[in-house]
Amino acid sequence: MPLRTSTQLQKVYSISNFYCNKFITWQNYNTMELLSERNLLVLLSNDQTQLFLKEYIHATSIW
């Protein structure tokens, strides 16, 4: 796997954060709060979230 530049990793993190916020909204949470890194990691451990992220990142050609 090629090394990722810091900018690429920042983009992936930003998109992951945005996408997980969308996922929370889809799950009918009352408020959409910014995810802390810990919360993001918890969501990223969810298989469905991982699948969404893989598809999204693949579609945007960032990963």
In sequence order, the 6+-apart residues with CB closer than 8 A to the CB of 16 are 40, 44, 53, 57
Query: Is residue 1 a part of any domain in this protein?
Result: no
**Run means of pLDDT, 10 residues per run, the chain, 63 residues:** 56 66 52 52 69 70 52
Q: Which domain holds residue 41?
A: 6-59
Query: Is residue 32 a part of any domain in this protein?
Result: yes
Query: Is residue 45 a part of any domain in this protein?
Result: yes
Based on the number of CB atoms within 10 Å of its own CB, is 30 exposed (0-12), middle (13-18) or buried (19 or more)?
Answer: exposed
If one counts the domains in the chain, the total is 1
> pTM here?
0.29
User: Residue with structure tokens 């949470």?
Assistant: 29
